[in-house]
Structure 1
Amino acid sequence: MDLPTLATYSEIVADRRFPAIVGIALLSGVVRGFSGFGSALTYIPLMSAVYGPVVAAPTFVLADLVTGSVFLARTWRLTLWREVLPMVAAAICAAQFGALILQYADPNILRWCMSALVLAAVALMASGWRYHGRPKLIVSIAVGLLAGTLGGAVQISGPPIIVYWFSSGHPAEILRANFFGYFSAFSFASAFTYALHGLLTAKVIAIATFVAPMTIGGMAIGTWLFQFAKERTYRLVGYLVAITSAIMSMPLLDRLLH
């Protein structure tokens, strides 16, 4: 794994796409701090449109590893680890297969799949359909396997988990803490997975260095806004941002959005 040099950072800052990195990182951070989920649904499609999935997914993992750890300290005691840990274990196993998809699949096909996945996930969550019943170990493992495959491929492991946990009857504070717990642990494992597959290049590490502090700033803003929102509001905001990101990231709009 090559480490970035000063020339690597200079090249990224001089690139006309650099302002997009800052904007996307801030936006995804606000969504994550506000709702506890939705950062990947925002960051991955938009960043894939700018740099491609092979850069978007690993940079998200590295940045999320840092930002998630910072905010997990605040929600640690509220996290229901008996529900989180089995799901994370299953997801880590499945992520090995997902990483192969990211490594070898056509980037444009992946981007179309990302957009379709995000839109389908939001439609499912907004429809009101929920898993019926309390969280069970076997169901948690199954959800973790699906989430891990999606997470390894495009770092969008949230939708099946969100649909599953929203049915648990937990209050917003517990749901938010569980999301922080899961995504922090999964990002830690994903970093090792991507390193083994040679996806953590010098460019990826350099971009993540810029993304992490911008995301932390956005998360601080989102966390402050969370105290003023009703439970219905925080879910609605996450949905609207995800839909917008999915539409804007479609390859069909590349020429229009430059």
Structure 2
Amino acid sequence: MVTALLTGTVFLAAGFVQGLTGFGSALVAIPLLSLLMDVKTAVPLCTLSGMVITSYLGWQLRDHLHWHRIRPLLLGSIPGVLAGVTLLKKVDSDVIRSGIGVLLITYSTYNLLVRPRPVNPGRFWAILAGFLTGAIGAAFSAGGPPVIIYTSMTSWKKDVIKATLTGFFVLNGVVTVTVHATSGITTSTVLGYFAVAAPCVLAGTMLGSRVYGRIRRDTYIRLIYWFLIAMGIMLVAG
């Protein structure tokens, strides 16, 4: 009973973060859930709850979803996943994970201090961001930052940025949930916890979305950089 209550609280917070920023629920949930349950339960549980979040946000932002913005990210992510699996087998994952973390911290700190103008990277960079997201996600379960960085470099309105991230994560989540289900990772224990987590994560997402609606684009972009720094610190810390 206590574990279920704490799990619901964790997902309330995780939903709030992603409702506010468009990403980051796993950043909140996985470290805390690992204190309550086995990681093999926490990961598929977080993936299922992530689908609740992205489905809600996708519906909420449906007028700002543009397939032509999401498509090159997805095209790049497919070969990226294959490359990530190979990378995981042949390279010291701790070294690369730390390197990615340092890069995120450095890049985000620079943008917070200097605040450069948007550069609107082209289609090639979208495909590259998708590729890196697929590779890092497959190898280290931390694939979001390249796509997040790509969208933050554009001059898009904040609703378009959030909608593009959400659309990409919805489709990527469908693939992940399917793989988890067919491989037996999603167990009855996971589904039991999900019954508790789903209403909590939805409530948190709705609350975060309400706060998001009251902030300006520049504040939103700064929030993205702060969360990327947090991701970087977590990667470096392992």
TM-score between the two structures when normalised by the length of structure 2: 0.77
Matches within 5 A, 1:184-195: 184-195=170-181
Which consecutive residues of structure 1, in runs of 5 or more, have no partner in the other structure? 1-12, 253-258
Q: Give the structure 2 partner of residue 37 of structure 1.
A: 23
* CA drift at 1:124: 2.2
Q: Distance between the aligned counterparts of 1:147 and 1:34, measured in 2?
A: 21
Q: Give the structure 2 partner of residue 152 of structure 1.
A: 138
| SS of the residue 1:194 aligns to | helix
Matched, 1:26 2:12: yes
Task: Name the CA shift for 1:150/1:132 in 2 (closer, same or farther; >3 Å).
Answer: same
Q: 1:73 aligns with which of 37, 56, 59?
A: 59
Task: Name the CA shift for 1:165/1:159 in 2 (closer, same or farther; >3 Å).
Answer: same
Q: Distance between the aligned counterparts of 1:115 and 1:190, measured in 2?
A: 24
Which amino acid is the alignment partner of residue 165 of structure 1? T
Q: Give the structure 2 partner of residue 170 of structure 1.
A: 156
Q: Distance between the aligned counterparts of 2:128 and 2:19, measured in 1?
A: 27
Which consecutive residues of structure 2, in runs of 5 or more, have no partner in the other structure? none
Q: 1:183 aligns with which of 144, 169, 172?
A: 169
> After alignment, is 119-128 or 80-89 more displaced?
119-128
Matches within 5 A, 1:239-250: 240=226
Q: Distance between the aligned counterparts of 1:116 and 1:208, measured in 2?
A: 33
Matches within 5 A, 1:1-258: 13=1, 15=3, 18-95=4-81, 120-128=103-111, 133-237=119-223, 240=226
RMSD: 3.6
TM-score between the two structures when normalised by the length of structure 1: 0.72
Which amino acid is the alignment partner of residue 126 of structure 2? S
| SS of the residue 2:61 aligns to | helix
Contact 2:121/2:154 (CA < 8 Å) preserved in 1? Answer: yes
* CA drift at 1:155: 4.0
Deviations 1:147-200 (A, max 9, x none): 123333554222111111111111211111111111111111111122344322
Q: Distance between the aligned counterparts of 1:192 and 1:177, measured in 2?
A: 23
| SS of the residue 1:51 aligns to | coil
Identity score, percent: 23
Task: Name the CA shift for 1:117/1:86 in 2 (closer, same or farther; >3 Å).
Answer: same
* CA drift at 1:21: 1.7
